[in-house]
Amino acid sequence: MFTLLLISSITLAIALLVMTLATLLAKKTLGDREKASPYECGFDPKNSARMPFSLRFFLIAVIFLIFDVEITLLLPIVSSLNFTNIFSWSLTSLIFLFILLLGLYYEWSQDALEWS
């Protein structure tokens, strides 16, 4: 137990040291206008390089990623049937599916899945 705590604290200390050094040694300029502007062969840009971003699309993409990760969590449930008893396997699977369906219902009730 003590060795696990020691290894964890050493790892945390090394990570904090590396992050602190990276922050201190980074050469950042705050607000360089030339680097922030788009480059079009030496000419001034004809229209804005900053395109408007649809937050609705971003929300749909995040929801897709969340449910995609949940699908990858569902796949090993089938192969774990051989290693557990049927009651604990079915109870765990049903609870997990219930939580997923509850999240889907919440997203649906908040109209987060509607595109228009």
Strand partners, 40: 43
The model carries a pTM of: 0.49
Distance between alpha carbon 100 and the CA centroid of its chain, in Å? 17
Establish if 110 belongs to a structural domain.
Answer: yes
| 16 assigned to some structural domain | no
Segment 57-112, tens digit of pLDDT: 888 888 889 888 888 888 888 888 888 888 988 998 899 999 989 988 998 898 87
**23 located within any domain:** no
CATH label of the domain that carries residue 72? 1.20.58.1610
Q: Evaluate whether residue 8 is within a structural domain.
A: no
Domain of residue 81 covers: 53-116
Question: 40 by DSSP, 3-state: which?
Answer: strand
Query: Structural domain tally of the chain?
Result: 1
- Is the residue at 20 inside a domain? no
- What own/partner pairs with CB < 8 Å and gap ≥ 24 does 64-72 have? 67/100, 67/104, 70/100
